[in-house]
Homo-oligomer: A and B are copies of this chain.
Amino acid sequence: MELSERKRKILAAVVDLYIVTGEPVGSKALCDNLDFTVSSATVRNEMSELAEMGLLEQPHTSAGRIPSQKGYRVYIDTLMKKRPVTSEEQRYIDSLLLPSAYDPEKLLDGVARALAGMTKYAAVSTTPGGSGADIRAIQFVQTSRRTAMAIIMTSTGAMKSRVFHCDFDLTPDILRVFFRVLNEKLAGLPVATVTPAYIQSLAASLGEMTMLMSDALMAVLDVAQDLMQTEVCLDGEMNLLYHRDLGQSEIRRIMDFLSRPQELSRLLMQQSNGLKVLIGEESNRPELSESSVIVSRYNVAGREAGAIAIIGPTRMNYGKIMSNMEYLSGSVGRMLTELLDTE
């Protein structure tokens, strides 16, 4: 059976209506929301065929219809009308991000917060990660008599620091040694080079300085490994509590998943470029089988970098949210790219 124009309109109307009311939509109610007039009986016939095709389903015999996951899929792919972002919203989004535009990690943190605030769902963002980055410089700053901070800056604008402690008093001279030795050895190398093994061999090659530098080396290793990881920022988990289509146990399952950053970031990073919607089972995650994920990868300097995403009930206002996310991920990419250019 193929999808006639009228069926398409009816499916779209069912989804639209269901999204706003949250109630199964019946034939009568639907009639009032169509841009052509037919009787409820006709609509009933069409709906029953849509159900046969697997696009609608019935909670029980005498209830209205709700979209199936497959129905949402068709809706999103071909029926939905994207609601363009108003310039006011654009200004609002940009104003949220701008204050932290000079630090990738803070920026992505702000993105998650903004996204959660705008959508009222749980929001996630991942930082670009360090896989393609080179070490540009390593700085040392004394922070107390026996502690100092190691800071690594990368070619992609990322930057991390770690305070470390030595068992002897630090002096500017010692810090200068740290600086000279480590920049000599590491500057220009990909961050990924700095593995425990590499640091070990580096330490071995330092001769009598090994002892002096071991704390600093460990700190640098630590920071480098931190830089390699794509950081996962999470916000608005609480928002999930306020959606009546998510039950207690459903919420718990989602929260469980959200508390495992590695899996979360893997799910996001394996999506291809652009905007993707994973409806229920499509994510292949049992914990998310009743909820939807909207992911948008963002590009930095033309290369696929991190991702932003929201997680919520399957019933959500896709049109509005998707266009907002599209704009947001564009903004993020642009800001991070600019950050790179000015380096």
Contacts and interface: CB of A to CB of B under 8 A. Distances in A.
A149 B151 CA distance: 10
Interface string A112-146: 00000000000000000000000010010111111
Interface stretch (A35-43, A188-196, A234-242): A234-242
Given A144-B157, A144-B343, 14 more contacts: A136-B144, A139-B141, A141-B141, A144-B153, A144-B342, A145-B342, A146-B342, A159-B163, A237-B237, A237-B238, A238-B255, A241-B248, A241-B255, A242-B252
10 contacts: A102-B164, A102-B165, A139-B141, A139-B142, A143-B151, A149-B151, A159-B163, A165-B342, A242-B252, A248-B248
Q: Is the interface of A mostly helix, strand, loop or mixed?
A: mixed
A128 to B, nearest CB: 15
Interface string A244-286: 0000100110010001000000000000000000000000000
B241 A251 contact: yes
Interface of A: 102-103, 136, 139, 141-147, 149, 151, 153, 157, 159, 161, 163-165, 237-238, 241-242, 248, 251-252, 255, 259, 342-343
Contacts of A157: 144
Nearest to A161: B161
A139 B161 CA distance: 14
A218 B40 CA distance: 66
A21 B324 CA distance: 49
